[in-house]
Chains A and B, each alone.
Chain A
């Protein structure tokens, strides 16, 4: 149990800056997920914390103690690796007991902790086996078990679920969340999968090209993305973007996306007034685009003419791939929608839920 702090942390590999001035404070007992596309530096950030890479400059603190020069073994952390990294020559019991044996924990205590962890994870029947005799999901549990028995201050997870099949991944996701509640310890979890981030995190840090883009709770990140990258990364299917211009039309502020023009409702226009006649990117999430026959009540909507390109029936909803001039975008509409491929139609943009980004800085205008 401890807080973790990154202070102006840089990591350079030659000319490449893998981690660029990272500043994050993780509270005790928090479940922080570092998320970003592959190669964005999130795993490097985690490895810096584990001590597996040396930081180029800045400071990393665990429980207010600077650990820059502390060896991994003395940082009191446990890490679960993507490949599980079980010791192939040791039995499952010995795999889990390895760290405790090195710390000269009494035999009885080791046995108690390993058995307890094995029960929590449902692997008590596998203790005498070797890792190669286990399935991927079982190995994953052992890797988690090996971390639990150590009772470390901080748990680190490096994409632990990416080698599992989809069903098992969903199941383990829930189990790791439960584990966090049960252990009441700081978890730092790296993934490229925004669904994992959204479902498990208390806070999410979105990283791109080595830089922290935004750190917030999952809901805030979803509702109030700070820039174009975060807006496009969080949410599936991703937010639709339309390059365009803000301009005044008969005294009203409108978004001119070239192929369509939508006015901004007066109550939301406030922050945008200063940006009139600027190039912007208009963003709207798929669920905020509706079939004109099935528009929820009490929202401000604007009509946009489209052609239906592809439809994907999911049962509880329909994904429509739409074309408007040179723009293609996705709508997530009511399953009763009768729109079919090739049809010319109108969809409704929910003008209570949209985002406008500065075309140059890519920051959200608000």
Chain B
């Protein structure tokens, strides 16, 4: 009989009844707290309550709002204007996805695309990710070889300690374009000192987004460097030495030994940065407010929601942003689980 194998303690029925004078410590625990089907949920309950109230509910409400009109009272379909294209209940999505583009010709579409929030977000995604990861990796490798490594790293990491708004203001001064003879902007005063003409860094379309990306790189490079540096330090010196003895130059050691070994970390840093960049808002909001063709998706969401008071359009942009980020989060979690499984 299998039941005979179960230790006596486990067979004790319904705790709370005074059936046994010699209660063990575990028996003193109320039944509901003991291991079973219920206990895990009990432990999770506080977190689940908070999460559902602050995350799940707003998420559902956001999706619902994105299908309704300005104030969330009726379906978005009612906002259609006769004679214009209309996607019915998806009208807010039509607006979010198409309003920035000029579809009259492929060329005009191309031009408007690269000044739209979507085009800009793509620029941000590629340039800032490449910049932060590339420069971060370079610094991680180089700092590893100098005696003042902690100091060098501290300097690179310091911008992380500045708030984005603070960084935006700092760089607004750097990029300042004075209208009079005196240039208080650092860059322009350097240029004029050499006899050049001052440049309107933040209001020249095309150039301005690049300038904003530089600020983003300035802030986030330290983060990438720190993680990549930790990963590089875990590569045993002997492997690098073996490669050098095997005939590899430092350049070859870097590309063919170091980089392949830390590729998993590089990928995680890249996806983390992509997620960060897609959500980017502060720098653009502070420095240009999304004007002069520098808008990004997150700033559009904010503008629709809190400046135009159009909850429907704002939430539609939010949903689009979330959908764009999900694949990267999925990838990150998958990698994380795979790494955990290897331990």
Contacts and interface: CB of A to CB of B under 8 A. Distances in A.
A79 interface: yes
A52 B242 CA distance: 10
B257 A85 contact: no
Contacts of A75: 245
B238 interface: yes
Contacts of A83: 236, 238
Nearest to B238: A85
Interface stretch (A28-36, A58-66, A98-106, A117-125): A98-106
Contact of A88 (B239, B245, B247, B256): B239
Interface in A32-53: 50-52
Interface in B230-254: 236, 238-239, 241-249, 252
A73 B245 contact: yes
B260 interface: yes
B246 A98 contact: yes
A73 B246 contact: yes
A356 interface: no
Main secondary structure of the interface of A (DSSP, over half): loop
Contact of B244 (A72, A88, A103, A156): A72
B261 interface: yes
Interface in A141-165: 146, 150, 156
Number of chain B interface residues as a range: 10 to 19
A77 B246 CA distance: 8
B247 A73 contact: yes
A50 B243 contact: no
Contacts of A86: 239, 242
B261 A150 contact: no
A197 interface: no
A85 B252 contact: no
Contacts of B241: 50, 52, 72, 79, 81, 85
A146 B241 CA distance: 14
Given A81-B238, A102-B252, A87 B257 contact: yes
A78 interface: yes
B241 to A, nearest CB: 5
A89 interface: yes
Contacts of B257: 87
A102 B246 contact: yes
Given A83-B236, A88-B239, A102-B252, A52 B261 contact: no
Given A85-B239, A88-B261, A146 B244 contact: no
Contacts of B244: 51-52, 71-73
Interface of A: 50-52, 71-73, 75, 77-79, 81-83, 85-89, 98-99, 102-103, 146, 150, 156
Given A73-B246, A150-B247, 18 more contacts: A51-B244, A52-B244, A71-B244, A73-B245, A73-B249, A78-B246, A81-B242, A83-B236, A85-B236, A86-B242, A87-B239, A87-B242, A88-B239, A89-B261, A99-B246, A102-B248, A150-B246, A156-B245
The 7 closest A-B pairs by CB, nearest first: A99-B246, A85-B238, A85-B242, A73-B247, A89-B260, A102-B247, A72-B244
27 contacts: A51-B245, A72-B241, A72-B245, A73-B245, A73-B247, A73-B248, A78-B245, A79-B245, A81-B242, A82-B238, A83-B238, A85-B241, A86-B242, A87-B239, A87-B242, A87-B261, A88-B239, A89-B263, A98-B243, A98-B246, A98-B248, A98-B256, A99-B246, A102-B246, A150-B246, A150-B247, A156-B245
